[in-house]
Structure formats: structure tokens, C-alpha cells
Amino acid sequence: MEGQKLYVVVPCYNEEEVLPETVRRLTEKLRSLMDRGLAGPGSRMLLVDDGSRDRTWELIQGFHRENPLVEGVKLSHNRGHQNALLAGLMTARELCDVSISMDADLQDDIDAIDAMLEKYREGCDIVYGVRNNRDTDTAFKRGTALAFYRFMSAMGADTVYNHADYRLMSRRALDGLAQYREVNLFLRGLVPMIGYRTATVEYRRGERFAGESKYPLSKMLNFAIDGITSLSVRPIRVMTLLGGLLFGGGCLWLLVLLVLFCLGRGAQGVTWAVASVWTAAGLNLLGLGLIGEYLGKIYLETKARPRYLIETALLHEAG
Ligand code: UDP
Ligand code: MG
């Protein structure tokens, strides 16, 4: 395991205020990791400029000239955090043995990198950075975050609780990720699907070092909706179920009315009308849900996700 080349991948969108400090700290970190043999020679940081409109790219170019540990890629225009991160990881895949992704704003404690690499040396392919505090958040943010995870998992999108995009991925895990051909990217839900040996490392998440959050509430809501609809078709199934219940209930009600009628205890016309409306509405929803089921299948087929990734194979050499 000695001398494994590490790439730290950092997506940057309008981060001119914090970038100099981030690069300074990461340089220090990488030097110390290499000195201690925790990361191999040739370890680097890869800064991805996600179509920034400020001086982010000029800064990256400057760092690259002066600092042998800094590399950069520039996206043609703003594609969003997830896509920028994927671009960085897929670039790093060709260059490194192990990658760590983190935000540019230094909210993720970079000292957790040591523990992540330790887990990697123990044989883990994916290590999730998990925040163990939410005291920098408001009660509102804490509450909504918890509700968000619960709802996500109820809707069939499994994510790691309190994990954002601070994670280690081995070359092999990156190769696996490369086989997921999703256009609507939600890495937090996708990476757990890859499998392999995983671990978590806890860290304290701090405040943004400088600059402003690039994730306002509207973007966060979109993120949640994308997360659910891009990972699972369970919402459709919920609709089918509801339609089935409604339709079944309506049928039962009509049956009861019919029996009463035969016994000579006919109900009022309006009761019949209401019962029929509910039954018909249920049938409608059921039909929609069924169509949705097929649509969902087509949807997942078009993603053409890999059906499996082989973790180990015990084979004998040919000949
Ligand atoms: N980011 C990006 N593209 C975007 C928005 C954000 O690459 O369109 C990057 C940003 O530079 C940062 C990371 O994604 O490194 C997380 O963004 P931010 O810190 O603003 O999110 P928050 O921590 O507030 O959720
Ligand atoms: Mg942040």
C-alpha cells in the first residue's frame, strides 16, 4: 500500500475569496501526507472550475504555475456542483490510485483526510466523511435536514446520513462510478450503489471560511427532488398503491350498497353517486400508476446502469 498516489478533487464555483487559503492548507496537508508516506509521491490537488464568473480560473492558473501540487480543469460553463465533481473525479481516475473529494470552502475538516487514508489502507474502497455536529446550523436547517434524509429513504433513495460529498474513492470505485451513465447526477445516492468495502469517518463541519453559499433554499429543494426522482421510481409505486386502495375501497362500498339494495334497504341516490366517483377516481389513478410503472422501467433502462461490479474474482491463471 506504500506510495499510493492521492488526488484531492475540489469543485470551485466563484470561490476567489477562499481559494488562496484552501490551496495553502491543502498544499500543507499534501506535503505532510507525503512526508509521512501516507500518500505517495506525485499526489496532487485537482481544482475544477465550474464556469466561474469571477477570477477563480485566473487564480487556478496562477497556482498551477507556482505550485507543483496544483492542477486544474475548467468546465466550459456552469454545470453545477455534482457535474463539476464528476468531471474532476473522472479526470483524476486516469491519474491517481485514490481520490478524495471536498468542497472549496473549507467547511470539511481537512484533517479527516488522514483517517480516511487509514481506512483505505485497511482495504476500504469508499470512505464517507460524516459530520458529527450540526451546531453551526439553525434549528430549522437541522430539522429540515433530518426530514430530508427520512423522506429520501422512504422514497427509495438510500443515502448516508449526514454525509455530503466529502469522501474517499479508490481507483476501482471510480472505475465503477464511470460505468453509471446517469445524466441527472446525484452522487450521494449513486456511490452507495457501487458497493465494495466501505467505512465512515466522522469530522466536525465548520462554517464557510469565506464567500457565500452557492446553495440557496430553492437549489436545495431542487436537489432533493432530483435526488429522489433520479434514483428511484418509488413515488410512482406510491401512486399505484393509492389508486389500488381507492379503487378497492370504492368497489367494496358499491358492493355493500348493492347488497343493501337487494335486501330492500336502498340508499339515497347521492350515496351511490359518491361511491361511483371514488371508484372511478381510484381506477383512474391506478391506470396512471400502471402506465407510470412502465415509464419507470423505460426510465431506468435508458440509464443503462451497470448491473453489477465484481469486487473479487478467485480465478486460476490460464494455461
Ligand atoms: N459548486 C460548484 N458549482 C455550483 C455550485 C457550487 O462547483 O454550481 C461548488 C462550490 O464551489 C463548493 C461546493 O460546490 O466547493 C459546495 O458549495 P457550497 O459550499 O456553496 O454549498 P453549501 O456548503 O452551502 O451547501
Ligand atoms: Mg459549503
**Distance of CA 175 from the midpoint of ligand 2 (Å):** 27
Nearest CA to ligand 1 atom 25: 215
- Kindly list the distances between the CA atom of residue 188 and the CA atoms of 63, 134, 193, 209, 286, in Å, as whole numbers in the listed order: 30, 19, 9, 23, 32
Q: Which range, of 55-69, 159-173, 208-222, averages the lowest pLDDT?
A: 208-222
Q: 195: left (phi > 0), else alpha (psi -120 to 50), else beta? A: left
Mean pLDDT of 255-267: 87
| Ligand 1 binding pocket, CB closer than 6 Å | 11-13, 15, 50, 78, 80-81, 84, 103-105, 107, 213-215
Nearest CA to ligand 1 atom 13: 103
- Kindly report the number of other CB atoms within 10 A of residue 221's CB atom: 12
**Distance of CA 262 from the midpoint of ligand 2 (Å):** 69
Indicate whether 252 pLDDT > 80: yes
Question: Which one is predicted more confidently, 74 or 135?
Answer: 74
* The three three-digit cell numbers of residue 53, written as one number: 464568473
- Reduced to 3 states (helix: H, G, I; strand: E, B; else coil), residue 71 is strand
Closest ligand to 212 CA? 1
Q: 12-28, pLDDT tens digit by residue?
A: 999 999 999 999 999 99
For residues 300 and 296, give the distance between their C-alpha atoms in angstroms, rounded to a whole number: 6
- Kindly list the distances between the CA atom of residue 306 and the CA atoms of 5, 169, 193, 261, in Å, as whole numbers in the listed order: 27, 18, 10, 58
**Distance of CA 12 from the midpoint of ligand 1 (Å):** 7
Nearest CA to ligand 1 atom 2: 81
Determine the residue of 214, 215, 223, 226 to mutate for testing ligand 1's pocket, defined as the one with the most ligand atoms within 8 A of the Cβ atom. 214
Q: 184-226, pLDDT tens digit by residue?
A: 788 888 899 898 999 999 998 877 777 777 777 777 777 778 7
Question: Which one is predicted more confidently, 30 or 317?
Answer: 30
pTM: 0.76
CA 298 to chain centre: 22
Nearest CA to ligand 1 atom 8: 80
Identify the CA nearest to 295 among candidates 229, 223, 242, 241: 229
Mean pLDDT of 173-185: 87
**Distance of CA 108 from the midpoint of ligand 2 (Å):** 8
Please enumerate, as own/partner, the contacts of 136-144 that have beta carbons within 8 Å and a separation of 24 or more.
136/205, 136/206, 136/207
Mean pLDDT of 240-266: 90
